[in-house]
Structure 1
Amino acid sequence: IYAFGDSYTDTGNAQLLDSSKNLKKGQEKLNNGWLLIDFVRDALNISSLPPYKSVNANFSSGVNFAMAGATVFTEEFLSQHKINSTLMWKDGYHSFQTQIEWYNKFVSDIACKGKNNESCKADMENSLFWVGEIGIDDYVRALRSKVSLRWIKDMAMAHTSRLLATLLDSGAKYIVVEGLPPLGCYPFAKSSRHFVKDDMNCNAKINRVTKAHNHDLQDMLEGFRRRKGANVSISYADYFDAYKVITGNLNKFGFEDAFKACCGHHRNKILNFSFKILCGMSGAETCRDPDSYIHWDGIHLTEAMYRQLSEFFLH
């Protein structure tokens, strides 16, 4: 497996690069346990999927290139538009282009070292390429800025297209691309003082952009399918609908609350979320039973939620 994405998929790169303010020593992920990619590799009987920045790791079963805090924008753009590029991260900056560069270096220096082009592509054809969410960190960052959410969507599409083209050119044959969940239902989005609610009782504006993002993403994937033909499998993981089904049937899936964060600050008792005191910061508290919560810190999901999502995507 070769995995890409942001903090929803990162299993250690941010921690190894010491770029997260909210990761405690030894903590690899921004939630309370497994991520979706962990359930995916477990279902395929792969014991581990080491992050690319691991030293002396065994990459025989794949690599995780995902990076928490990855952005679709340049550092200059974030600074120019006064977007907080360090929300849950330190000063380290990594765009999604970094992951493409990491992947190309891994292929040339490790995976295909000493092999000809044909042999290299044959190896890649037997791998699963998992592309996690692209753009979430930017939507979160821009929530309190004047940057157009649709502009973020367009940039996310450009990065996704570039990544897919790189993977396909290297010989990738089996690719899964995750859509975005309804971000307007996340505590960070519902914490806005004034917002129009949609039929899910969520932030309508953000969910409209999320739907547009997913619509454009599916159109892009269909374009790649038409160009590459039947020899390549490019699947779409419908995060939005899976999330909607689960939150609409809380008792069935073992959850108590659709919107409240397990780890956060009680300033907002309904959401347990505050941008000023995020999970991991002084003053934040953690719930007693994370398995009954969908949201971990108001931005990321709990292991229990990822477990349920994996059932939708893998079965």
Structure 2
Amino acid sequence: MKLPCFHLCSSLLVASLVIQLITAMASGGGGSSGATSSMVAALKKYNAMFTFGDSMDETGNICAASSNKTELDVLTCTHPPYGETYFGRPACRWCDGRVVVDFIAQALGLPFVPPSKAKGKDFRRGVSMAITGGTAMNFSFYKSLGIEDPVWNHGSLDTQIQWFKELMPSICGTEQSCKVYLRKSLFMFGGYGGNDYNVQLLELGLTPLQAMNYTPKIVTAIANGVEKLIALGAVHVVVPGIFPTGCLPIFLSLFGDAASETDFDGTGCLKPYNRLTEYHNSLLRKQVDALRRKHYNSTRIMYADYYGLVYQMIQEPEKFGFSKPFEACCGAGGGKYNFDVTARCGMEGATTTCCDPSTRMSWDGIHPTEEVNKVIAGALLRGPYCTPPILG
């Protein structure tokens, strides 16, 4: 069932007020109203935030892990116009500005989470293990499917959890003290799965129907990862689903021409690819429900419905202040989707952007704009697309 737009608008307004409160407090301002008091109480709920995932949540690990300038130059997110909206320069984020976890950190009164690979950083108030190309499955799984070399990197879900375990002594000390500290920390876990399907669809050439054969394994890996975090002491864990793949300019550009008219839904998305995403998310919801039942008295596991939110934004873009939901803001592809895999945003000759990125949904044909990330963060903080909401 499609939720009325005003619910989301209310959530975003509340999240915006929280961020304004943080700014006022930082500058010495304050307030005495009951609403302000309740927001302050909500902010005290979390003392740190720890994030895991892929390029959607990347805050610098792929850049910190690159050993030389040549490797960095390959990463288009290190070139203008990435970062122009908020940072004024590329900030190793696949976006024109902030990603979802940046907005959530600001709303909680926390610093932006530094990448775990950064040197000399204080990770006690948060750290990001998310890295571009992160997958739910380990490389051994893809090797069994015929992939001889890592497609992007070795930053699988298990690897990221290992990175976190290695940092725990510097974050919270002993195992027992960590159990206490992590009780008041927020864990953003994913959304894993997007790159697992990208490997299958784009590298192995599988159809969406064939890729569904591996969905149970992918979802089980995510659930097992949540279990591992809980064993370490995590209590508050957000587990996101994945975006509607069939609505992304990259997939529309690569597969739209060969698709039949019946392959498109009423909004212009590719139904076979969205069915794959829906299947993944439905299995993930069931796993999250099972985890809640198993750990009902000791954890707060939140499911973030990225699919439902983004699809509603595509259906009714004007209600959210957007236009041209299928056209990438940055790139040199031209045409209906403005996406060309050989002329992606940040590549030579592909640095022109749309006039106002805040009115667009897709930044580079693969990743959302800062404005979309802001809407998503607002919906996660207060609902209705996160159950229960982060600040609920």
What TM-score do the two structures reach when normalised by structure 2? 0.73
Deviates more, 1:16-25 or 1:38-47: 16-25
Counterparts of 1:101 and 1:159 in 2: how far apart (Å)? Answer: 15
Q: Is the 1:72–1:152 Cα contact (8 Å) retained in structure 2?
A: no
Counterparts of 2:359 and 2:58 in 1: how far apart (Å)? Answer: 23
Report Cα offsets for 1:33-59 as digits up to 9, x if no partner.
Answer: 100111111110112211111111111
Q: Counterpart of 2:326 in 1: which secondary structure?
A: strand
**Are residues 1:63 and 2:141 paired?**
no
**Counterpart of 1:280?**
346
Q: Closer, same or farther in 2 for the Cα pair 1:67/1:27, shift >3 Å?
A: same
- What letter corresponds to residue 187 of structure 2 in structure 1? F
Q: Closer, same or farther in 2 for the Cα pair 1:138/1:275, shift >3 Å?
A: farther
Q: Which structure has greater helix proportion?
A: 2
Q: Is the 2:136–2:222 Cα contact (8 Å) retained in structure 1?
A: no
Matches within 5 A, 1:146-225: 146-147=205-206, 148-191=210-253, 192=255, 193-195=257-259, 196-225=263-292
- What letter corresponds to residue 134 of structure 2 in structure 1? A
Q: Is the 1:15–1:27 Cα contact (8 Å) retained in structure 2?
A: no
Matches within 5 A, 1:1-40: 1-18=49-66, 21-24=75-78, 27-40=91-104
**Counterpart of 1:301?**
368
Q: Is the 2:243–2:277 Cα contact (8 Å) retained in structure 1?
A: yes
- What letter corresponds to residue 213 of structure 1 in structure 2? H
Deviates more, 1:13-22 or 1:38-47: 13-22
Which of 329, 349, 352 is equivalent to 1:262?
Answer: 329
Q: Counterpart of 1:143 in 2: which secondary structure?
A: helix
Matches within 5 A, 1:248-259: 248-259=315-326
**Counterpart of 2:197?**
139
Q: Is the 1:184–1:203 Cα contact (8 Å) retained in structure 2?
A: yes
Report Cα offsets for 1:98-119 as digits up to 9, x if no partner.
Answer: 1011011112x31243x3x433
**Counterpart of 1:111?**
171
Counterparts of 1:84 and 1:161 in 2: how far apart (Å)? Answer: 26
Report Cα offsets for 1:188-223 as digits up to 9, x if no partner.
Answer: 111112231124321111100100111111100111
**Counterpart of 1:93?**
154
What TM-score do the two structures reach when normalised by structure 1? 0.90
Unaligned runs of 5+ in 1: none
Unaligned runs of 5+ in 2: 1-48, 80-89, 383-392
Cα distance, 1:263 vs structure 2: 1.3
CA RMSD in angstroms, aligned pairs only: 2.1
**Are residues 1:102 and 2:150 paired?**
no
Deviates more, 1:70-79 or 1:22-31: 70-79
Counterparts of 1:77 and 1:231 in 2: how far apart (Å)? Answer: 32
Q: Is the 1:138–1:152 Cα contact (8 Å) retained in structure 2?
A: no
Report Cα offsets for 1:53-88 as digits up to 9, x if no partner.
Answer: 1111111211111111112344465465359955xx
Larger Rg: 2
Report Cα offsets for 1:208-240 as digits up to 9, x if no partner.
Answer: 010011111110011111111233110111111
Q: Is the 1:133–1:179 Cα contact (8 Å) retained in structure 2?
A: yes
Counterparts of 2:347 and 2:150 in 1: how far apart (Å)? Answer: 17
- What letter corresponds to residue 75 of structure 2 in structure 1? K
Q: Give aligned pairs, total.
A: 307
Cα distance, 1:255 vs structure 2: 1.0
**Counterpart of 1:227?**
294
Deviates more, 1:138-147 or 1:191-200: 138-147
Q: Closer, same or farther in 2 for the Cα pair 1:10/1:82, shift >3 Å?
A: same
Counterparts of 1:246 and 1:189 in 2: how far apart (Å)? Answer: 18
Counterparts of 2:369 and 2:228 in 1: how far apart (Å)? Answer: 31
